[in-house]
Structure 1
Amino acid sequence: MKLSKLVGAAKELAVQIPPIVDVNVTGIEMNSKKIEQGYLFIAIPGFMHDGHDFIEDAIQRGAAAIIGEKAVNLSVPYIQVTDSRTAAARLASAFYGFPARKHKLIGITGTNGKTTTSYMLRHILSEAGYSCSLLGTVAYIINGEHKKSSHTTPDPIKLQKLLADSKDEFVIMEVSSHALDQARIEGIEFDVGIFTNLRHDHLDYHHTMENYFRTKASMFMKHLKKDGHAVVNQLDEWGVRLSNLLEMEQRKIFTVGKSVYNHIQLGCIHISEKSSIQLYHSNKKYTLNLSFPGLHNGYNAALAYAAAKTIGIGDETIIQALESFKGVPGRFEVYSHPAGATFVVDYAHTQDAVEYCLKSAKQLGAKHISHIYGFRGGRDPSKRKHIVEASAGMSDSFILTFDDLNGINGDVMINELEQLAAHYGMGKGKVISDRTVAISEAWQNAKAGEWVFITGKGPERYKEMFSIPARSDQEMIETLLMDQSFSLQDATADFQ
């Protein structure tokens, strides 16, 4: 594509557009190491590195033109803009032929439940005969092919390329608050937007819950089509606030909650080895029997049901699809221990997500509840005490361990974990820094009727090197299951 034509997509962001040597642009990149001959390099002022420092490297690698925010003189065409992040999204969209326009787009945002709701909704669409791509935390699924996920919401250039590659009619996207704040979805408009909830998270980035909420709300205020539907969970105050904002804008809202005024009204949710959920819609009562437990999964199913209704899918198809849905990797993933205990791997990393998990175990008759989890270095430390308090209040014992240190000194993290366990742990907790050793100890000591939750990472791979050569919580459990040396001596004794 000619540079002059491409630049038109972001001309209002240009400080000025100089006379352009009309080169042919063969690709777009924000990483100078990925530049090839004829590429356009966009310099982004990042949080760790400034892309402007890599302009010369990009030119040496063959960049035909540069976009950036600083005033510089270069040997190749350079266009200065006021916001290179927004420019990157708009230029990528233009370069790939505005691919969002060829799909029906569903965006899902919120603190918890995005992944499970997206997988549920994709399953419903597939059962209804639609092809559907999915972009989220666990994987990017394009044309039925699974690709490894790099971010919950990919960077704008990768996002536009994935949309261009997709031949599916629908695309479901998990939309993170970081993606919204960093203009990754600039220029994209959703046919359906789903709000799951808002909980204490990412305040290291957003600083206050109000800022966090405003960022999440921007998906609906700026990126929902004028005739699009907003599906909103009103089980928390933030969902009610979002609904009020959207009503002022006279937008189409479809609400889920426990009030008679909600479009989808939640009735009884019965938790056993499966979950039975009662829904009321248009004066009709429906019962959903999910194949996996969890109060939170009942809420996710209700949101998926509501979204499918706005698309026009029939009740019978939705219910049959939800009842045949088998779950999501790393979301309440259950493993049976040889002694009769139950191990659960879950992504839960906020207070309410942890509470939902542990509450589900109580409802399922757990005789003893153990919890293994840690905190990532460099992330929001203000939520940690709340999670430890919640775990101590609902479990019989817990182990604090390492997650991803992200450059934080291990001794510093151990000291913090020990202080948290001592101050908030009610005498129930201890620290084992090696995550694989912590899981192994829980496995060796597990007894019949015990539930052991390993939370915080779900399907994510470890960044740290641990004693046992497993690369994820799932892989660690599978390693223990295959270990024939495991002894059942004393482990089969039930809890009295």
Structure 2
Amino acid sequence: MKIDDLLTTLNIEMMIDKNIKNMGIKGIADNSNDVEIGFVFVAIKGYQVDGHDYIADAIQKGATLVIGEQQIQDIDVPYIKVENSRKVLGIISKQFYNNPSKDKLMIGITGTNGKTTTSYLIKHIVEACGKTCGLIGTIQNMINGKPIPSFQTTPSALMVNKLLTESKDDVVIMEVSSHGLSQHRVEGIEFDIAVFTNLYHEHLDYHHSMEEYFQAKLLLFDHLKPNGKAVINTDNEWGNRLAELLRQRDIPTFSVGEAEKNEVQLKDFAVDLSILYAKEEGKSIEVVIPIPGIHNMYNTMMAYLSTRILPIPQETIREAIQSFTGVDGRFEKYKQGNSPTVIVDYAHTPDAIFHCIASAKTFGAKHIFHVFGFRGNRDTTKRPQMLSLTAKYSDQYFLTFDDLNSISENEMEKTLHELNRKFGNTNKGNIVPDWTLAIQKAIEMANEGDWVIITGKGHENYQQSFELQTPSDKETVQYILNQLAEEKITN
């Protein structure tokens, strides 16, 4: 591709020498470390690093053209000033890689909770039909059956286009975050199916209001292909509103919910949440829920409806769902001998925490011990509700340190005590700064029949050192349970 082709794509007429316009482009980079001779460098101002500060470095490494937002003069290569570098990165990436999403069956999933579990369920169902399925998401990216580390729920438009170009998969599923949508990380990506799981209080440090958060999620549906379809959970008030908006746009919209108007109507479920009774096209169906929790009932049915409209036969989907074994860090259960049941879950919103605790009660937990923390410099507006919920529904809870980021230990400990006094229950609440010791204390206090629920980290590795020096909740829980088992044998 020539530089002139990119200029045409951007609808920009620049006074650039004809010989330069005809120069071939070998690649695109938004990180100067990735620049090679013949590359276009797109300077993006991030939250911690400003790409404009690295323009000289990119030129030294061989950048042929630089695109950015600032007014810059006296550099040795052509420079194009644009209004939004992130958006332009998506536009030129789509052009450079020849719009790879157009030839894939693309499924995009957005929502506060449930994106990861729903995406893995859909992947499992698709593969049960003998199709290959790629995945771009929170835990990892999976292309052509090979895992690739994931550093963001939704990577940059440049990375997405690279991954899609490499992919030989029949279907590709993407988790699409509100940050990714508002920052144009899916600019130029086209979806066959867009899925909305729910919307709850989260990320208001970034979006400022629920309405702004909703509008960011709504952007996904602007990326549907001409014959694209939407799948919506209407048992969430925002989902109900979204379904109405999409139908007004004449976008084919399929919904899951308790109301009779839904394509899949949820009727009832077994006491232990293991089976859901629903209706599809007026006919009763039973669907086994493969992983515990009310929230996972919705995740399962969102995956069910998404794959029904691919289309995949109903019986094939139901059989595939039964063999699904779960997702790393999503309501993972651990139990040894007569130890309490321990749950590790990524839940980090009030709604997700409520569903974890409610599910434990449904499964007959005698007492509930909840371990969780708050991240430094992250959405503080959800903290009172999270604390009030656990103070009301758990028997004991343990407030601890999550990722501190730039907040000091003393400041975070003081914050935890203040929050507990204002919104918690000082008779139930325990402040244990060390995350691993908080888990240890909760498990040691609990008895057989009790449930210990650890929320907030899920699959993630710890970002700081703790007393037990285990890398994640999974290893911490296993270490503590093994220690307790050895002590009982010794005694």
Task: Give the TM-score normalised by structure 2.
Answer: 0.96
Once structures 1 and 2 are overlaid, which stretch shifts more, 200-209 or 140-149?
140-149
Name the structure 1 match of 2:386: 387
Name the structure 2 match of 1:458: 458
Once structures 1 and 2 are overlaid, which stretch shifts more, 469-478 or 154-163?
469-478
User: Partners of 1:15 and 1:197 in 2: how far apart?
Assistant: 43
Name the structure 1 match of 2:315: 316
User: Partners of 2:15 and 2:106 in 1: how far apart?
Assistant: 33
CA deviations on 1:67-113 (whole Å, 9 max, x unpaired) are: 11122221012222221111111111222222111201001001011
Name the structure 1 match of 2:296: 297
Q: 1:165 to 1:423 in 2, by over 3 A?
A: same
Give the superposition deviation at 1:8: 2.9
Alignment of 1:92-171 (within 5 A): 92-171=93-172
Once structures 1 and 2 are overlaid, which stretch shifts more, 252-261 or 93-102?
93-102
Name the structure 2 match of 1:402: 401
Structure 2: runs of 5+ lacking an equivalent: none
Name the structure 1 match of 2:83: 82
Structure 1: runs of 5+ lacking an equivalent: 492-496
Once structures 1 and 2 are overlaid, which stretch shifts more, 464-473 or 227-236?
464-473
Name the structure 2 match of 1:262: 262
Once structures 1 and 2 are overlaid, which stretch shifts more, 478-487 or 40-49?
478-487
Give the superposition deviation at 1:470: 1.3
Once structures 1 and 2 are overlaid, which stretch shifts more, 19-28 or 79-88?
19-28
Q: 1:25 to 1:271 in 2, by over 3 A?
A: farther
Q: 1:408 to 1:15 in 2, by over 3 A?
A: farther
CA contact (8 A) 1:337 1:343 kept: no
CA contact (8 A) 1:15 1:80 kept: no
Give the superposition deviation at 1:236: 1.6
Aligned with residue 17 of structure 2, among 16, 19, 30: 19
CA deviations on 1:242-270 (whole Å, 9 max, x unpaired) are: 11111111110101110111111001122
User: Partners of 1:419 and 1:270 in 2: how far apart?
Assistant: 41
CA contact (8 A) 1:339 1:446 kept: no
CA contact (8 A) 1:38 1:64 kept: yes
Give the superposition deviation at 1:62: 2.4
CA deviations on 1:146-199 (whole Å, 9 max, x unpaired) are: 122111111111111111111001111010000100001111121111110100
User: Partners of 2:107 and 2:237 in 1: how far apart?
Assistant: 23
Q: 1:271 to 1:37 in 2, by over 3 A?
A: farther
Once structures 1 and 2 are overlaid, which stretch shifts more, 427-436 or 377-386?
427-436
User: Partners of 1:8 and 1:482 in 2: how far apart?
Assistant: 63
Name the structure 2 match of 1:251: 251
Name the structure 2 match of 1:193: 194
Q: Residue 168 of structure 1: SS of its match in structure 2? A: coil
Name the structure 2 match of 1:175: 176
CA contact (8 A) 1:65 1:78 kept: yes
Give the superposition deviation at 1:461: 1.2
Q: 1:15 to 1:7 in 2, by over 3 A?
A: closer
CA contact (8 A) 1:271 1:294 kept: no
Q: Residue 488 of structure 1: SS of its match in structure 2? A: helix
Name the structure 1 match of 2:232: 232
Name the structure 2 match of 1:494: none
Give the superposition deviation at 1:484: 7.3
CA contact (8 A) 1:275 1:295 kept: no
Q: 1:336 to 1:484 in 2, by over 3 A?
A: closer
Q: 1:490 to 1:287 in 2, by over 3 A?
A: farther
CA deviations on 1:341-361 (whole Å, 9 max, x unpaired) are: 111100000111001000011
Give the superposition deviation at 1:487: 2.2
CA contact (8 A) 1:290 1:325 kept: no
Task: Give the TM-score normalised by structure 1.
Answer: 0.95
Give the superposition deviation at 1:417: 0.9
Q: 1:388 to 1:486 in 2, by over 3 A?
A: farther
Q: 1:34 to 1:195 in 2, by over 3 A?
A: same
Alignment of 1:324-339 (within 5 A): 324-339=323-338
CA contact (8 A) 1:343 1:451 kept: yes
User: How many percent of aligned residue pairs carry the same amino acid?
Assistant: 44
User: Partners of 1:34 and 1:239 in 2: how far apart?
Assistant: 40
User: Partners of 2:319 and 2:200 in 1: how far apart?
Assistant: 31
Once structures 1 and 2 are overlaid, which stretch shifts more, 401-410 or 384-393?
401-410
Q: Structure 2 counterpart of 1:116, which letter?
A: T
Q: 1:17 to 1:365 in 2, by over 3 A?
A: farther
Name the structure 2 match of 1:56: 56
CA contact (8 A) 1:15 1:81 kept: no
User: Partners of 2:243 and 2:15 in 1: how far apart?
Assistant: 42
Alignment of 1:186-225 (within 5 A): 186-220=187-221, 222-225=222-225
Give the superposition deviation at 1:406: 1.5
Give the superposition deviation at 1:60: 2.0
Matched, 1:7 2:7: yes
Q: Structure 2 counterpart of 1:304, which letter?
A: A
Give the superposition deviation at 1:116: 0.6
User: Partners of 1:419 and 1:225 in 2: how far apart?
Assistant: 50
Name the structure 2 match of 1:437: 437
Once structures 1 and 2 are overlaid, which stretch shifts more, 151-160 or 68-77?
68-77
Q: Residue 181 of structure 2: SS of its match in structure 1? A: helix
Q: Structure 1 counterpart of 2:76, which letter?
A: S
Q: Structure 1 counterpart of 2:215, which letter?
A: R
Q: 1:357 to 1:113 in 2, by over 3 A?
A: same
Give the superposition deviation at 1:340: 2.8
Once structures 1 and 2 are overlaid, which stretch shifts more, 481-490 or 462-471?
481-490
Q: 1:271 to 1:470 in 2, by over 3 A?
A: farther
Name the structure 2 match of 1:470: 470
Give the superposition deviation at 1:481: 4.0
User: Partners of 2:251 and 2:122 in 1: how far apart?
Assistant: 22
